[in-house]
Structure 1
Amino acid sequence: MSLSFADPQEAALSLHVIAQPDLRTWWESQPAPVRRWVEASGFTGAIGQALLVPDADGAPALALAGYGTPAKRARKRFVLAAAAEKLPQGTYRLAGGVADDALEAECFGWLMTGHVFDRYKARKAGTARLIAPDGIDAARVEAMAAGEALIRDLIDTPAQDMGPDALQQATEALAAEFGASCTSVAGDDLLARNLPMIHAVGRASDRAPRLIDMTWGTEGPRLTLVGKGVCFDTGGLDLKPASAMGLMKKDMGGAANVLGLARMIMALNLPLRLQVLIPAVENAVAGNAFRPGDVLTSRKGLTVEINNTDAEGRLVLADALALADEEDSDLIVSMATLTGAARVAVGPDLAPFYTDDEPAAAALAEAAGPAADPVWRMPFHTPYEAMIEPDIADLDNAPSGGFAGSITAALFLRRFVERAPYMHFDIYGWNPAKAPGRPKGGTGQGPRALLGALPRMLKL
């Protein structure tokens, strides 16, 4: 099903979104037959309830969607999607009941009911279509939905079909769709182009490591997005247990999220110059795998002692960030499924981010709420710098002790960006349980908040 709004000229049922506290007032304003039908149907306005009300001839006359209470809505996102998933096939037009500041997010959630990941199994998407209500930018919501669908599809695809080569092909397809350019450096050419840590992490796989580089736009401020593209992470020689390896197809979630955001930016033709850098690798085990105790030299020239081969994401990001910082960027944003410590700190639903740019942090926090894309600022706590400085190299990729794991990873990455304003997201990229508009599986975290914040961040 298309992730788009219905033609406003289509015949549509009037959809009344009714919160539980407002049901009695609405009910009393209706004709007696409607009151009797609603009462007999047990409709209470609870979240997820959906009801068609017939006319005198039995044909649908209007529809109702439960909107719950403010307290219940505060515990969920995309509340309207819960009813949309239950409405029968047809076209609907909102007849009020959703606050203006929630309208865009609720419409986005509705559109996402039309998306399922069905590459390997037939699955049914929602069939209820919505006419874009007054007060929202329909093209913007559709662009966000298409970007989110791309993110979910990329993450949900298993590693057998989403290796570094397939991630490159997905990026090339996106570039072709929007007239962007896309190049890549792969295999031993990474060494010739001074991208040694990307090569070291990916060289043990039979699928060559690579740096994917997509550029778009010719005018405006320069935005560089860097996404971790570890297409599968065994942990390397510090092998993960099976319980920790099961979801590692999602370890390219950072790459998926920056590609989804890039799709939104290009679809909306934002006035900026965009670069997307994706270090795409598979962290595999073989005789030529990098080892604990090795010391790698990065593109920037900083040496890195390897104390855990399972802390590989920051290594590939470091080379890409160093390359990004060599350009005249107005903002560099990295996104990565980087640390379990971030999940312990904030769980799977919040997207932790780091920045030293106070106005950018404020813009992001302001944009996250209306986008229903929650973020949480974490500190670049400079006193912890000593924790990432070992005795025999400039940096340690996995400080011992286990404290402040997300912060030390972010501080590690910050060492590779000196010129441009920098923001880093340590995301999970996975929805662990089905929710309205959000099936279990890959998910976007941060792109919609960033999209809303970019005009302030970059003065667009």
Structure 2
Amino acid sequence: MLTTESHAGSVPIHLVHEETFEAWRAGQSEVVRNWLVANAFKGERFKIVLIPGEQGTPAAVVVGLGRRPARDEFSCWQSAGLPDRLPDGRYHLAQSLSDAAATQFAFGWLYGQYRFERYRRAAPARAISLQVPANVDIAELERLRAASALARDLVNTPANDMTPEALANAALEVARRYECRHRVVVGDALLSERFPAVHAVGRASAVAPRLIDFEWGNAAHPKVTLVGKGVCFDSGGLDIKPAASMILMKKDLGGAAAVLGLAQSIMDAKLPVRLRVIVPAVENAISANAFRPGDVIATRKGLSVEIGNTDAEGRLILCDGLALADEEKPDLLIDMATLTGAARVALGPELPALFASDDAMAAELVKVGLAESDPLWHLPLWPGYDDELSSKIADLNNVSASGFSGAIIAALFLKRFVSEARAWLHIDLYSWNGKDRPGRPVGAEAQCIRALYAFLKARYVR
């Protein structure tokens, strides 16, 4: 919880780096200096010390930030673990921070209070709050917190409850809240509406595949279209995944979840864009009518695709969504997907891979992502690999015969379906935190929402 109440009666939080800790400690009382020595505290990252008061309650908190970075910056992850590690009470920052640093601190405080308790008894409510300085926009932080929570809830929900129908209902809830024009194309209607690739991937599931499409905003504003991969569970299809690779496949809708969170932020802030959101929602299941390796399927773009591997299904549903989006020649087209293991091998789980039609735009987004503690890393749409998608019987294959550069190959596949948009960004993200860290428990991670929101705000708000 964030408040703007007076600091009176609240506990100060001191932030210290390792390099400046001794100088800071020297300015404290002898009791505090001795207490810090007794706790072997030297300003290490994520380490905190509670300074006891006369009544045994905390009189102050000292938070270690670790080594001072080359740039003067503060990451939200340095504060995200504090609400869990501090006792109930009211707290405030002891020192003044820049607008950016204070905002990062306050957002981390909010992000760290997320809980996913749908399937277990809820923990008792905490009575802990942070008095934020005047240079923090609480409404903006609450907007981003809600968007992150929406995305994390969707990814954390298991596939028995987060079906393609449930994902569509979640998207429609957002659309109706902001009075969007919306439609959902379901089942065999995908064929008559010219979404054959979405239908091919999702037809084997007991829950029919569908495509969610909603629009918002003034038609006179620049057109921004978001496309999110909504694979609610990925068995791999007939090229079935091993059990170890299947266990986290409820998170394969991470791109759709991030797109919905970002869309909610854009609409809530009333950014001056004409927004369109497209989410193909399927389950890649195994049944008698499942699509097969070696099949040739049609796409909305008119390109035929030979199926080299049924486990490369995300790019198939995205290609229909991208083709639909591209038909309107948007000012900016962004797709987000948990697309390739190759991106994780190259960059790990914390760095989504970014591909762009405009290198200068990509560089700007990378810069914004670093400032927002929501990083991305730019990889090339290397044309030399384009022939890896060749097929002897179709316009292209959905995979390469080579085991190399899988994230780039997938991006090049999608690029075939984007020809009219003025600019295109493709983001291959993980959407999951695989290890417990302060404020970042194992589970869904809301990646790229803050970076893209800040990027769009800087691009379109004048």
TM over 0.5: yes
Contact 1:77 1:436 in 2 (8 A): no
Query: 3-state SS of the aligned residue for 2:2?
Result: coil
RMSD over aligned Cα atoms: 2.3
Give the distance between the partners of 2:41 and 2:245, measured in 1 at CA.
44
Secondary structure of 1:161's counterpart equals coil
Which residue does the alignment assign to 1:12? 10
1:224 aligned counterpart, secondary structure: strand
AA matched with 1:433: K
Q: Offset at 1:37?
A: 4.0
Contact kept? 1:184, 1:211, Cα under 8 Å:
yes
State the alpha-carbon separation in 2 of the partners of residues 428 and 59 from structure 1.
41
3-state DSSP of counterpart to 2:79: helix
Letter in 1 for 2:138: A
Which residue of the partner structure matches residue 435 of structure 2? 433
* Alpha-carbon distance in 1 for matches of 2:348, 2:445: 14
AA aligned opposite 2:180? A
CA contact under 8 A between 1:6 and 1:91: conserved in structure 2? Answer: no
Using the TM superposition, name which of 16-25 and 269-278 deviates more.
16-25
**SS of the counterpart of 2:250?**
helix
Q: How far apart in 1 are the matches of 2:437 and 2:39?
A: 25
Identity of aligned residues (%): 46
1:221 offset after TM fit, Å? 1.2
Deviation at 1:146, TM superposition (A): 1.4
Are 2:401 and 1:393 equivalent residues in the alignment? no
Q: Which residue is equivalent to 2:85?
A: 86
Per the TM alignment, residue 338 of structure 1 is displaced from its structure 2 partner at its CA by 0.7
Find the aligned partners of 1:72 and 1:192 in 2 and give their Cα distance. Answer: 57
Listed as ranges, the gaps of 5+ residues in structure 1 are none
Gaps of 5+ in 2: none
Task: Name the amino acid aligned to 2:48.
Answer: A
Distance 2:42 2:179 in 1: 50
Q: How does 1:329-340 map to 2 (within 5 A)?
A: 329-340=330-341
C-alpha distance in 1 between matches for 2:63 and 2:343: 36
Aligned twin of 1:268 = 269
Give the aligned residue type for 2:391: P
Report the Cα offset of residue 253 of structure 1. 0.6
Change (3 A) 1:77 1:5: closer
2:42 aligned residue: 44
Letter in 2 for 1:6: T
Q: Bigger shift: 438-447 or 24-33?
A: 24-33
Deviates more, 1:204-213 or 1:175-184: 175-184
Alignment match, 1:64? 62
User: What SS does structure 2 have at the residue aligned with 1:184?
Assistant: strand
Deviation, structure 1 residue 170: 0.8
Give, as a single letter, the amino acid of the residue that structure 1 aligns with 2:247: G
Find out whether 1:158 has 2:158 as its counterpart. Answer: yes
Indicate the larger mover: 370-379 or 437-446.
437-446
- Does the 8 Å CA contact 2:75/2:101 hold for their aligned counterparts? no
Give the Å deviation of 1:92: 1.1
Of the structure 1 ranges 21-30 and 441-450, higher mean CA displacement relative to structure 2 is found in 21-30
Q: Relative to 1, partners in 2 of residues 1:249 and 1:345: Cα closer, same or farther, differing over 3 Å? A: same
Alignment of 1:3-402 (within 5 A): 4-9=1-6, 11-70=9-68, 78-96=77-95, 101-122=100-121, 124=123, 128-218=128-218, 219-402=220-403
Q: Distance in 2 between matches of 1:20 and 1:98?
A: 18
After TM superposition, give the deviation of residue 56 of structure 1 in Å: 4.2
1:55: how far off? 4.1
Distance 1:422 1:126, change over 3 A: farther
Give the superposition deviation at 1:262: 1.1
Residue 51 of structure 1, CA deviation:
3.4
Distance 1:142 1:76, change over 3 A: closer
- Given that residues 232 and 282 in structure 2 are in contact (C-alpha distance below 8 angstroms), is that contact kept between their aligned partners in structure 1? yes
Residue of structure 2 in register with 1:452 after alignment: 454
TM-score (norm 1): 0.93
d(CA) in 2 for partners of 1:267, 1:9: 28
Normalised by the length of structure 2, the TM-score is 0.93
Could you tell me whether the CA contact under 8 Å between 1:359 and 1:457 is conserved in 2?
A: no
CA distance in 2, matches of 1:335, 1:281: 15
CA distance in 2: counterparts of 1:269 and 1:61, whole angstroms: 42
- Report the residue type matching 1:257 in the other structure: A
Q: How far does the alpha carbon of each residue in 1:372-393 deviate from its partner, in whole angstroms, 9 at most, with x for none?
A: 0111101111122111121111
Asked whether the equivalents of residues 171 and 182 of structure 1 are also in contact (C-alpha less than 8 Å), the reply is: no
Aligned 8 A contact 2:271 2:460 in 1: no
* Partner-residue secondary structure (3-state), 2:81: helix
